[in-house]
């Protein structure tokens, strides 16, 4: 089983003010654990720079142009209370888009079995017309649309286990019957969306909230009953994962008590559905995870699972 790992040094150039949780050290933490010899078998690739038009698969042209024009030559431009642009942000975000699309191409063409894209800023809070929650372009949603538009996938599932609800992905796919968006996340918590009653216009939005303090047992229970059951019924051609690791018990921004083994388990369970319906095709895109130790441990477990261990 061949696993592709995609990243790029530009992810470090998306600067944030001192103390901001969405910091370049997140990528360094990922790179550090993947230096271990057990990951020597990874196929490693650099995220290409996407043309801005690729982002318009989910974001209107004026939105993309406005963000590019707003990028500063020095310092920061504040988009909302916690989302900022720095001189390196647009390249990093466009390489995040390029990396996600490259991973889909490789998986859909059979060049690798599955892929993990580790770039920042994250993406799943970015709505069609609004950057927020550290996110600029919605890389995972773009990957889904790229699979549909370029590779002819008829049904694509987007599984989101970031501890914060992916309001952007939900917004983008609310009226799209060809995409199943399935999320488990803490509620109440930023951004305030993700109630079980939010189901989309075609009943293809699946929200399975957790409560503060929930741990492995509850997570696995709702993931099996709420996410995997719907995933099986949907029978996707490709599964994209919004892989946030901020539900780890060490994370400072949430209150869910998972450990790294839970992310390994969830990865394997998603892969089982992919083997049955999608030829094993899985593309995972990094979202949150703000404890550097928790992020490193979780990515390691995630990659072990993707590599078939």
Section 104-123 average pLDDT: 98
State how many domains the chain has: 1
Confidence of residue 168 (pLDDT cuts 50, 70, 90): very high
Higher pLDDT among residues 299 and 1, named by residue: 299
Is the pLDDT reported for residue 2 higher than 70? yes
> pLDDT tens digits for 233-284?
999 999 999 999 999 999 999 999 999 999 999 999 999 999 999 999 999 9
pLDDT score of 35: 97
What's the CA gap between 242 and 140, in Å, rounded? 6
From the candidates 8, 14, 124, 125, give the one annotated as an active-site residue. 125
Segments forming the whole domain that contains residue 19: 3-306
Q: What is the mean pLDDT of the chain?
A: 98
Best CA proximity match to 290, nearest among 81, 33, 82, 22: 22
pLDDT score of 162: 98
> pLDDT tens digits for 210-240?
999 999 999 999 999 999 999 999 999 999 9
Section 104-120 average pLDDT: 98
Section 140-155 average pLDDT: 98
> pLDDT tens digits for 194-214?
999 999 999 999 999 999 999
Residue 204 CB neighbours (<10 A): 21
Active site residue 125: yes
Can you give the CATH number for the domain in which 192 is found? Answer: 3.40.800.20
| Sign for the pseudo-dihedral over CA of 7, 8, 9, 15 | negative
Is the pLDDT reported for residue 1 higher than 80? no
pLDDT score of 216: 98
Section 128-139 average pLDDT: 98
pTM above 0.95, yes or no: yes
> pLDDT tens digits for 41-96?
999 999 999 999 999 999 999 999 999 999 999 999 999 989 999 999 999 999 99
């Amino acid at each position: 089983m061949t696993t592709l790992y995609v990243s790029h040094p530009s992810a470090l150039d998306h600067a944030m003010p001192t103390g901001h949780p969405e910091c370049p050290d997140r990528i360094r933490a990922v790179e550090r654990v993947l230096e271990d010899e057990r990951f020597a078998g990874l196929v490693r690739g650099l995220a290409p720079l996407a043309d801005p038009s690729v982002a318009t698969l989910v974001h209107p042209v004026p939105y993309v142009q406005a963000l590019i024009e707003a990028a500063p030559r020095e310092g920061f431009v504040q988009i909302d209370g916690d989302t900022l642009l720095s001189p390196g942000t647009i390249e990093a975000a466009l390489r995040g888009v390029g990396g996600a699309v490259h991973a889909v191409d490789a998986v859909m063409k059979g060049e690798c079995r599955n892929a993990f894209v580790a770039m920042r800023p994250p993406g799943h809070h970015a709505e069609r017309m609004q950057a927020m929650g550290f996110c600029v372009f919605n890389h995972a949603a773009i990957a889904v649309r790229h699979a549909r538009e370029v590779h002819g996938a008829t049904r694509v599932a987007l599984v989101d286990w970031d501890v914060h609800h992916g309001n952007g992905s939900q917004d983008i796919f609310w009226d799209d019957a060809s995409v199943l968006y399935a999320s488990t996340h803490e509620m109440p918590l930023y951004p305030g969306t993700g109630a079980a009653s939010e189901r989309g216009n075609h009943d293809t939005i699946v929200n399975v909230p957790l409560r503060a303090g929930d741990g492995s047992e509850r997570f696995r229970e709702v993931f099996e009953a709420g996410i995997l059951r719907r995933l099986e019924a949907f029978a996707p051609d490709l599964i994209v994962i919004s892989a946030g690791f901020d539900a780890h018990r060490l994370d400072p921004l949430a209150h869910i008590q998972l450990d790294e083994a839970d992310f390994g388990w969830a990865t394997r369970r998603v892969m089982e559905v992919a083997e049955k319906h999608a030829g094993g095709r899985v593309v995972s895109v990094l979202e949150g995870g703000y404890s550097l130790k928790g992020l490193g441990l979780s990515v390691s477990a995630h990659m072990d699972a993707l590599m078939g261990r």
